[in-house]
Amino acid sequence: MHVDDFRTGSYVAIGWIEMGDMSTLNTRDQFAKAVEKAYPGSRKMQVATSAGQAYRFVREMKVGDRVLTYDPGQREYLVGTIAGDYTYKPGKDDTHPQVRTVKWDGSVQRDALSVATRNSLGAIATLFQLPAEAAEEIERLSNGKVSTPQAAASTVEEETQVELIFKDIQSKAFEFIKDKISQLDWEDMQELVAGLLRAMGYKTRVSPSGPDRGKDIVASPDGFGFESPRIVVEVKHRTGSAMGSQEVRSFLGGRHKDDKGLYVSTGGFSKDARYEAERASIPLTLMDLDDLVRAILEHYERMDADAQRLVSLRRACPEFCV
């Protein structure tokens, strides 16, 4: 997750690897020509949008500007101040070499924001300006300050047409679904995950409330766990609280050699937890809240009525897919 690196490294960055070092580009026209060269075949609107966002990141954002980025795993917005000019820092495995240093000085949980502000927040993967009311609320909650962030990077202007608007709608819809899931209690969350597994073709047994020795759901073709694959599922529903390596090791400790593991955590996972899963002795999949929403969207129409009731969705149009 890049936001973890942003937080610990005190910076914010964007991709555009093929653009290379953009420090020699000064005008919007120069940025547009660089985009056309780096991404041949791009449509005119795509060129204008990408060039505009790159120009803002490199030339318009200034030291002292307020900035925010979103951590979907922790469901919080980091709020900070631009502390340095644009720099190009390519690395062997770095997908975000275009960098601005940032002093992060606060954070706001998405669930703490008003519905109006949550509705106004667009696709943080792009550069856009916050409405004044939303900016004031975020500042007030982040550190007790009442000032206005100038941008969640900067302004999207006239080239923000249908394609960018559609992406923004998708992003907002995705976050609204996450909001709805986060409001479920633990038992409903367990039933939602079981309903998802049934929609994927498995039969499930859900553990009753109480000590479960590290398994909340067992999914298998026969429903008893006799037939393979036997999937043992742990569900942790604590938004804002990432599972660490110790929790993953504890889950793995009770597994049989032929088991498959699924660990669902709405609070996400630490880097150490993901490393622990990669070296596990049995196949183990970690599913955070983003992964869960994507899976629900993919299998929603096959989920039974009880599971659909927990997260009631309606497809806006046949082509809509988050």
Q: What letter represents residue 28's amino acid? A: R
pLDDT in tens, 231-288: 999 999 987 788 999 999 999 988 888 999 999 999 999 999 999 999 999 999 999 9
* Per-residue tokens: 104: 């992060």
Q: What letter represents residue 26's amino acid? A: N
> Would the pLDDT of 10 be above 50?
yes
CA–CA distance, 307 with 208 (Å, rounded to integer): 17
CA–CA distance, 154 with 60 (Å, rounded to integer): 8
Per the CB < 8 A criterion, the answer to whether 77 and 108 are in contact is: yes
Three-class DSSP labels, 79-133 = EEEECCCCEECCCCCCCCCEEEEEEEEEEEEHHHCCHHHHHHCCCCCCCCCCCHH
Determine if the pTM surpasses 0.75: no
Stronger pLDDT, 150 or 276, i.e. the higher one? 276
User: Residue 107: phi, psi to the nearest 5?
Assistant: -150, 155
Contacts of 143 (CB under 8 A, 6+ apart): 79, 105, 106
Stronger pLDDT, 251 or 148, i.e. the higher one? 251
CA–CA distance, 180 with 285 (Å, rounded to integer): 23
Of 47-56, 138-147, 228-237, the range with the lowest mean pLDDT is 138-147
CATH class of 186-310: alpha beta
Task: Give Cα 134 distance to the centre of its chain.
Answer: 20
Looking at the chain, which residues constitute the CATH 3.40.1350.10 domain(s)? 186-310
pLDDT category of residue 211 using cuts at 50, 70 and 90: low
